[in-house]
Structures are given as structure tokens and as C-alpha cells.
Amino acid sequence: MRAWIERQRGLVDFAVINLGRRWGRNLGLFLAYTLLVFLLASVVLYGDALRREARLLLADAPELVVQRLTAGRQDVLPAEWRERLSGLRGVHAVEGRLWGYYYDPASAANLTLLVPAAGAPAPGRVLLGAALARVRGLAPGDVLSLRGYDGHPYAFTVAGILARESELASADLMLVHETDFRAFFGMAPGFYTDLAVYVANPREVRRVAEKVLDRLPGTRVIAREEMRRTYEASFNWRQGLLLTLLSTVLLAFVLLAWDKASGLSAEERREIGILKALGWETGDVLRMKLWEGVLVSLCAFLAGYVLAWLHIFYADVPLFTAVLKGWSVLYPRFTLTPEVDAGQLVTLALLTVLPYVAATLVPVWRAATLDPDEVMRE
Amino acid sequence: MIFQPAALALLLAASLNALLLGGSGVFALHLLRHWNPASGSERQIALERRTYLVSTLVGLSLLLSLPALALFVHNADAMATFFTGAMCAVGSLKANTWGMPALWAMLAGFFLAAAWLVLNHLDSLGWDTPLLRGKYRLLLVLAPLSVVQAGFLWLYYLNLNPEVITSCCGSLFGPAASGVAAEMAALPVAWAMPLFFAGWLLTLAAGGAFLARRRFGRLFGVLAGLHFPLALAAIVAFIAPYIYEQPNHHCPFCLLQREHGYAGWVLYLPLFLGTAAGIGAGLAAAVRADSLADVAPRVAAGLAKVALAALGLFGLAVLLYLRRSHLVL
Amino acid sequence: MIELVAVSKTFNAGQANEYRAVREVSLALEPGRVTALRGPSGSGKTTLLGLIGGLTRPTSGRVRLDGRDISALPERFLTRLRRATFGFVFQQFQLIRGLSALENVMLPATPTGRPYAQVRRHALDLLEGFGLGGRAEAKAQWLSGGEAQRVAIARALINDPAIILADEPTSHLDSALSTQILAILADLRTQGRTLIVSSHDPLVFEAGLVERVIDLRDGKLVP
């Protein structure tokens, strides 16, 4: 065991010296490698972070949402519909919800006004999403003035900023009291935007949805799982599309790696010949060359991953926002919550390191099996 | 078709693996026909050189198979949100016909590659490479397996349809289900638990006897191999319910989730390592070749130590989870 | 004791440029002596040296080392045996550029797994013994011809082999340096090592070092 470790150490030492001696030659490959990891890691990190945000967004959502449709458009619904659903078997609770959109010319964004089921601010007060507060430069105690449905300005005092566990979900959010909401949008009492239906047993969701449609024909019933699946599918699809586009980059890189590994200079051939003549076995040369590959891969992977991390979580993702986010509202500033996941690292390693190793394996083996007596044949 | 990074990574890995090992399989046929160590001909020298490439390829394949297997299961677990009715990896794997076969093929690939590398290592220690033909015959099994594995994986991901209503683990391991999985789940704890611990202790005892007396090496290998299905059955029958603290939750995959403290990884990693090393120790102990008379027992003992440590760890982890649980079956 | 029985080496067998470098050579070399292979260039000296040292595998025939047939050994074992038994000094020194003299000397020990510190000590001692103590950290390409040849000899000795094979050890040196190298080889002889030298340099044969001369021509022994 000791001898094994000493030998590996010797091989690593030599690999390091070798890389150092030819750093100019290896630099191009290293940069290309880092770039590849950076691009792929950016796609994967960004997609996963968005998916996580969406999951948080849906975590507290009700199992079913019931909307009234009038001429195919969503419409407010009467409060007595609540009672008509609460008696259904399997339904744990039904809540009327109040929410709506408001286009704010000052921040050029669509705001979501929402009356929370619990923890609503007092009348005349508002809780703001972090992104919105940032753009409008608001702090608790400030007054936010918005124009209501009738053209009159409404003043809200900022009671607090929402904690940003998930910024995607809360960036443009305004939490208000029910009376303010109805006054601001001119919605009569006794009406709700939609109904939230809570189902205790997840396996009964489908059956409950069918019963809801039975009792309230013409409504639209949206299942949370359905939403989640749609989000996931859309993120996966976009991520997969980007990765497929990047596969051409991967291919180019593989060709470069193959070329670099197989194009041994006369000097390198001579050196491998010397090593073999001095008593290095094919396996030793092979291992030394593989160590070189491992060292290059490790450095490039780390560098690329860290750069991608900075790109996604600290530099506002300049590269693929438009493609991946797919949200209709563009957020003024948007910070994702960082998270490392082992599955993600394995995925990235399989997508980058594995093709590199596969591309260099045969050339490396070819180099390692040079004849030991080649040095003597000059 | 499911189009996501982990799936693409797995397909890439499996395809490369199939390509490299499939090529090695063709070479194995060639080698078995033409190998002649007494000759100094250029063909013999070329064959000998090629064996270095094949060893490296299978090594890479083994190195690949464990993370790939882990990623496959992890990703199946993460995909559960896609399928109506799925709660964990089982739902995703049962979403079409190919999920479970792919998993089994990957498991078999892992253990076969490990066994091959043990043989390869032993072979390289004997000056007359006594196991050469044997290991290349084994490669003739490993190579098609890698192709089959890649095939299953492609079929699985290409045929995944989010519209499908799949079954959750309850329907596979639950009381109302039928089949091998359900029968494992239905094993009464009263004798499943003693049976498992008896098997575990017997395996450890055989390993200990081998280390102390240099006997029962082959027996240890066989027991380590048998211990694996026994351990899987035990996980389904009672270890999982104890960890979930729910008498009817038998799923061996939900264990991998964060909610259960990643208990699955704590159990499966030493179990896999220990089983592979144990089978390897058995193989090394079973080898009969003059040129390996000195080294084979040493290799076997080294592997047995690793196997004992890993399997011991596995059993201790099981005991710990059982102790911590509030469930009484 | 090294025995060659009807050893031949053919390069590019079956092709248009087929070349039989060594033909049906049989000979026995006794331990503890200095043997020289002599012949014009192209006579197969170097190939024969490679065959003796297990560097080149014979196309046919047998090579025995202390009675053991090494011609059919797999590369892994042959290399291990070669490392422990033979030290090679090549024509044109064959040092690796960019590595220091010390690193060059240590190279053959890497695959043996000997502890690094011990190998380094040994290498420094060897360099010291050849008057190169101050040049240990110098890069190979900065060494003079004489220095490079001494580093190459030190490198051949790092695994402490019983047999030293030297291919034209004086061919790139002037007379003064050649004499110096021959003195070093004579030293190795007194340490009890077996020396096998290929050369066509008269200086080597006049130095009184060589105990047995084997003449070669066209890949065959000249009787």
C-alpha cells in the first residue's frame, strides 16, 4: 500500500512537472475546458435554481383552484359558491381568494396585489416584495401611491418588506387588506377572484376535481400538481434545449481534446520512449498521463463551476435570462437563492469530464504503448 | 421524451460506456482466438498492448457505474413530480416498462465490472497471466450487458410520458400489491429480522474466519453475494418501515430523500461496496494458479478487510436506525 | 548469467521494408565481466544490446536471465525485472529537458514505489560521487556533454542494478571526456557490476577495460 502511494505520488509529481513544462500548449485546452464547464454549469445551475423557486412558489398553494369563466375569460365568482363546495366529500376547506394584477408605470412592471388568508396588513397598509421595494426605493414607513380603478390615487403605507425565501415568487408582490383591495379594484363585496380548495388526501384530488366540475359546470379547475408539472416540463424543456445546443460546443471541445492528446510532438514521443527505456511500464506511463488528465479536469471543472456560480447567483445571469426564465414580467433585479446539489455535480461531471476522458483515452494509450527500444533506434 | 440535464448526462454516459465496452468485447473475441504468450510476433505484442486499453476502459466503466447508478435513482426520485401518482423513484421507474430493467442492468453492470477488475488485478500479478482467458470470457458477458444497459436507458427516457398515471411505491410494496416486491414487504418482522441479522452475522463470521485462518474464503464470497438480496429484502420488509416510522411504508427508494435524513445513501453505499469487495475476496480466494499462490491470498485478505468493514458498517447503521425509531412492529 | 539462444529480431515483418536487424545470435555472457559488442554502424549492436537488456522482444529465439526464460514474459514483469537488473546508458544521453539533473536521475525509481526522500538521498549521493553535487538542480539542457553523460550514468545506477548496458558511451565526447567516462565504467566494474558496452570507438578497446569482445556484422556474430 505504502509503495502504491509512493508510486502514485511520483507519477503525480511528474504529471505536474509535465503540465508546467508545457503550460503554453495546455493553456488553450484548459481555457476551452473551463469555458465548456462554465456554459453547461450555468445552464444546469440556473435551471435548477428556477425550478426550486417554482417549487417554493407552489409549496403553499392549495391542491385545487376553481375559477369562473365568462366567455372563456376568468371572471369574479360569487361567495355562495364556497358553500356549494365545502360539503363535498374529501374537501378539507374552501377559501375565497382575492388577488389581481396592476400595471405600475413607475416601475414598468406588473404588480400582483394579494389579500393573504392570514397575516394581512391593517387597512391602509401594505407589505411589499423585495424587488418592488428596491425599484421604487421604499422602506417601511414610506408611502406608496397608486392609481385605483376609478383614476383616484390610493396611498398605502409600507408596513414591511417580505422576506425573500423565494424572490421569484414574491418579487412583485403587494399584500393588502381586503377592504383596500375591494376599494382599489372596485370589486363588490360577496365576490372573490377564485376559490382555493384544500384536499386532505392527495390521491383524491382528481376525484374531487371531477365533483367540483359536476357541481359548478363551466368553471376551470386547476390542480397544483398540474401546475408543478407544467413548470417542471417547461424548465426541463428549455434547459434540455440549451444543453442540446451546447452539445455542438461539447463536440468541438472533444475534437480539440482528441487532437491535443493524439498530436504528440517528436519531443514528447522521445520522452515517453526514454521513460519506457528507463523501466517505466506501459501502465505507469498510462497512469501518469491519466493523472495529467485528472489534474486538468479538476482545475477546469472547479474554475468553470465557480465562474458559473458567480454568473448565476451574483452577476444577474446576463447570458440566458430570456431563454430560461420565460416569465412575462421582467424583473428589475433578480437574485436566485444558491444551492449545491450532488446530483447536479454528478450530472455536470458526466457531461464534461467523461467526454474529455473518453476522447483522450485512446490517444493516451497509444502514446503509452510506444516501444521502449525506440530511443535506441535513432 | 424527457429532456433534462441528468437524463442527457446518463444517456451520454451509458452510450459511451456501451461503445467502449462493446468495442472491448469485439477485441476479447479476437484475443481469445489469437492469444499466444510464447510468441514474440508483432500481433502478439499488439494484443498485449491492447489489453492495457481494455483494463483502463473497464476501470473507467466501474468508476462511472456507481455515480451513474446513484444519479439514475436520484433523478428518478426528482422526476416523481412529473407523473401523476408518483411519490418517489418507484413511480418514475414504473412509468414505463424500461425503468426497472434499466436499474437491474446497471446493478448487474456494477458488480460484474468490480469482479472483472479483481480478476484483472490478480491476473496482472501472475507472470504467466493465468486468468487471462477467464477474464476475457467474462468480458464477453460484460460487453453485451453494457450495450443492453444503454438500450434500456434510451428506451426508458425516450418513452417517458408525463401523461401516464403511474403507481406510487405504496402500490408496489403495499399490502394490496402482489409480486416479489410485495412478498418481501409482507415478510413478518418476527422472522425477517432474525433471519437478516443471522445472515449478516454469518457473513461477517465467514469473513473473520477467512482473515484469521485463511479458510472459508470462497464461502465468504458466496455469503457476501447472498447477503445482498437478503439485505434488500430486509430493507423492504422492516428496515424501511422503522426508518419511516410507518408500518405500511416499505419503499426502498423514499429512503434516499432528504426527509428521511438520506438514510438510503448511508445504507446503500457501504452495502454496495461491501458486497463488491466480498465477492471479489471470494473470487481471489478461489483462484488456483501456481504463479498466484503467494499473492492471491493476500489480495483476497485485503478485499475481505474492506468487505468486512463496509458490511459491518452497513449492519451497524441498520441497528442504529432500528434503535432510533419510535415504531414498534 | 545471460544466455541468448538463436535470437532474431525482425522489424516490420511481412512488409516491404522488412528488416532483420539480428539473425540467429546465440551467446552467453558471464557475470562480473566487461563485454564489448563491436561492429560498424548498422551491424545490429544496438538491437542486440536491447535484446540482452529485455528492452526489445525477440521475434524468435530465447533470452534467459539466470536460467529463467524472459523472452515470453508479459511486459509488466519483464519491465520489473529489467528495472531491478539492468541500468541503461543511452547514446546521446537521453536526458529529459526541463527536468533538473536530480529529477532525471530519480526517474527510473518512480515506478518502484521507493520512498521519495530515500530516492532523493540516493540520487544526490550518486551525483556527488560523480562530482556533480553542485549541478543537481541544473536543468538537463544546461549541462555540458560530459556532465550529461555522468548524469546519465548516475541515472542508470539509481535502482542499483547488477548489470550496466552502455550504448556507444563515448560517441559524443572528446578524448579527455571519454577517458573520464571510461574511468567511471572501470569503477563500476570494480564494484562487481557486469558491464556490456556497444562501441566502435578504438579508445574503448585500448583502455584495457574490455575483457571480452564480440564482433558483429549484418546482424550476425563474426566468429
Q: Is A232 on the interface with C (CB under 8 A)?
A: no
Chain B interface includes A347 (CB < 8 A): yes
- Chain C positions touching B124 (Cβ under 8 A) are 76
List the domains of chain A with CATH numbers.
Answer: 2-57+230-377 (no CATH), 97-189 (2.40.40.20)
Which residues does residue C20 pair with via DSSP β-bridges, in sequence order?
Answer: C10
Pairing of strands A143-147, A91-104: unpaired
pLDDT above 90 covers a percentage of chain C that reads 67
Q: For residue A164, what pLDDT is reported?
A: 63
**ipTM, 2 dp:** 0.92
Q: What is the C-alpha to C-alpha distance for residues A267 and C96, in angstroms, rounded to an integer?
A: 9
Write the pLDDT tens digit of every residue in C131-148. Answer: 999 999 999 999 998 999
- Could you tell me which of B194, B193, B167 has the C-alpha nearest to residue B181? B167
CB contacts under 8 A, B 42-101 vs A, are 49, 52-53, 56-57, 60, 64, 67-68, 70-71, 74-75, 78, 81-82, 84-85
Neighbours of B198 (CB within 10 A): 12
List the single residue in B70, B81, B162 with the smallest CB-CB distance to A346: B70
Confidence (pLDDT) at A326: 46
Question: Quick check: A108 pLDDT over 60?
Answer: yes
Burial class of residue A17 (count of CB atoms within 10 Å of its CB; 0-12, 13-18, 19+): middle
The structural domains of chain C, ordered by start, are 32-57+74-221 (3.40.50.300)
Q: Give the angle A287-A293-A297 at the CA atoms, nearest 5°.
A: 145
What's the DSSP call for residue B165? B
Contact criterion met (CB < 8 Å) for C98 and A21: yes
User: How far does chain C reach from its first CA to its final CA, in angstroms?
Assistant: 21
For B30-63, what is each residue's pLDDT tens digit?
999 999 877 777 788 889 889 999 999 988 988 8
DSSP string, A137-152: T--TT-EEEEE-TTS-
State how far the alpha carbon of B170 is from the alpha carbons of B80, B97, B325, in Å: 14, 18, 21
List subunits contacting chain A, requiring 3 or more Cβ pairs under 8 Å. Answer: B, C
Chain B residue at shortest CA distance from A1: B302
Nearest CA in chain C to B132: C74
Per the rule left: phi > 0, alpha: psi between -120 and 50, beta: everything else, A69 is beta
CB of A354 closer than 8 Å to CB of C145:
no
Q: Does residue A225 sit at the B interface (CB-CB below 8 Å)?
A: yes
- Write out the DSSP string of C131-193: T-GGGTTSBGGGS-HHHHHHHHHHHHHTT--SEEEEESTTTTS-HHHHHHHHHHHHHHHHTT-
What average pLDDT does range C45-56 have in this prediction? 91
Quick one: pLDDT band at residue B1, thresholds 50, 70, 90? low
Instruction: Using CB atoms, pick whichever of A6, A372, A376 lies closest to residue C113.
Output: A6
Beta carbons of A67 and A220 less than 8 angstroms apart = yes
Tens digits of residue pLDDT in A34-61 = 999 999 998 888 888 877 777 777 777 8
Pairing outcome for strands A153-161 and A125-128: parallel
CA C153 to CA A90: how far, in whole Å?
Answer: 90
Is residue B180 scored above 80 in pLDDT? no
* Residues B111/B119, Cβ–Cβ less than 8 Å: no
Residues of A in contact with B49 (CB under 8 A): 282, 369
Res. A231 pLDDT band, cuts 50 70 90: confident
Query: Model confidence over A318-331: pLDDT tens digits?
Result: 666 555 554 434 34
Cβ A279–C46 below 8 Å, yes or no? no
CA A156 to chain centre: 34
If you measure CA to CA, which chain C residue comes closest to A279? Answer: C83
Whether residue C151 has pLDDT greater than 80:
yes
Q: How far is CA A171 from CA A55, A127, A338, C151, in A?
A: 15, 11, 17, 71
CA distance C180 to C150: 9
Is the pLDDT at A333 greater than 70? The verdict is no
Mean pLDDT score, C141-159: 94
3-state SS assignment for residue B84: strand
pLDDT at A324: 52
Which chains have 3 or more CB–CB distances shorter than 8 Å to chain C?
A, B
- The answer to whether the Cβ–Cβ distance between B49 and A362 falls below 8 Å is no
Is B129 at the interface with chain C, CB within 8 A? yes
Give the residue from chain B lying closest to C71, CA to CA.
Answer: B40
Cβ contacts of B38 on chain C, cutoff 8 Å:
72
Scanning A31-50 for CB atoms below 8 A from B yields 43-44, 47
**Cβ–Cβ below 8 Å for B40 and C60:** yes
Q: Is residue B127 less than 8 Å (CB to CB) from chain C? A: yes
Say if residues A220 and A66 touch (Cβ distance below 8 Å): yes
A286: nearest CB among B5, B52, B78:
B52
Identify the burial level of A186 via C-beta atoms within 10 angstroms of its C-beta, where 0-12 means exposed, 13-18 middle and 19 or more buried: exposed
**CA atoms of A218 and A72, how far apart (whole Å):** 9
- Which stretch of DSSP H or E encloses residue A158? strand A153-161
Q: How confident is the model at residue A247 (pLDDT cuts 50, 70, 90)?
A: confident
What pLDDT is recorded for position A328? Answer: 39
What is residue B131's predicted lDDT score, i.e. its pLDDT?
Answer: 92
Rounded Cα–Cα distance for residues A159 and A163 (Å): 13
Nearest to A237 among B3, B67, B74 (CB): B3
**C-alpha distance from A185 to closest chain B C-alpha (Å):** 36
CA distance C63 to C72: 9
Radius of gyration of chain A measured on its C-alpha atoms: 30
Q: Are A331 and A169 in contact (CB under 8 A)?
A: no
| Whole-number Å distance between alpha carbons of A22 and B152 | 43
